[in-house]
A = this chain, B = another copy of it.
Amino acid sequence: MREVFQQELREVQDRLVQIAELVEGAIQGATRAFGTSDVALAEQVIDGADEVDQLASELDELTIDILARQQPVASDLRLMVGALRMSASLERMADLAQHIAQLARYRYPESAIPQGLRKTFVKMGDIDIAMSAKLVELLRAQEPRIIDEIRDLDDALDELHAKVFEKVLSDKISADATGVVDATLASRYHERFGDHAVNITKQMNFFLSGAME
């Protein structure tokens, strides 16, 4: 029984890695589409979110199925609950990448990025991409040091999020109402993306400290 459970746990892990890889691709595409007003790429990211939804639902079904058949208790049960929570966060991260791509599409052929904020959004995008790459690594290699790396990236992201508002409100940038709306939403989406990455590290932290006990 235990061996079967271990095997099923690996299947859950593999699927989480697979979904995290799609999320990484989505935020890469969304960041590039947003930065370069690439509407074809934006469409691709928007369509891609459905695949993540589908895979996350299937993973949830598998997890509930394992719960029903294996009846895990203690830390194994918490792992399964953690998998449900990680899948929900990954699904939400794909939605947020989709929202960023939608901003690029709405404003096309204009840019969604107000003058003076381009560099800040490039940095935010790069951090989200780095976080999602590290999530893939964390889910695959399960090394605790990656948790700290992701949290450090989230701190840097929160600073940039605050900086966007500071700049928008300081008249240092020339933005009309559309630019301010886009900057506000894009910055919020990037920040939430990071929050969900941190949520996943919390689940993994339990997983890893539980496994080490």
Q: Which residues of A contact B (CB under 8 A)?
A: 60, 64, 67-68, 71, 73-74, 77-78, 81, 84-85, 88, 165, 168-169, 171, 175, 177-178, 180-181, 184-185, 188
Contacts and interface: CB of A to CB of B under 8 A. Distances in A.
A68 B64 contact: no
Nearest to A184: B184
Number of copies: 2
Nearest to A114: B177
A194 to B, nearest CB: 15
Query: Which secondary structure characterizes the binding site on chain A?
Result: helix
Contacts of A78: 64
Nearest to A173: B177
Nearest to A99: B188
A105 to B, nearest CB: 15
A162 to B, nearest CB: 12
Contacts of A84: 81, 84-85
6 contacts: A68-B77, A84-B84, A84-B85, A168-B177, A175-B177, A180-B181
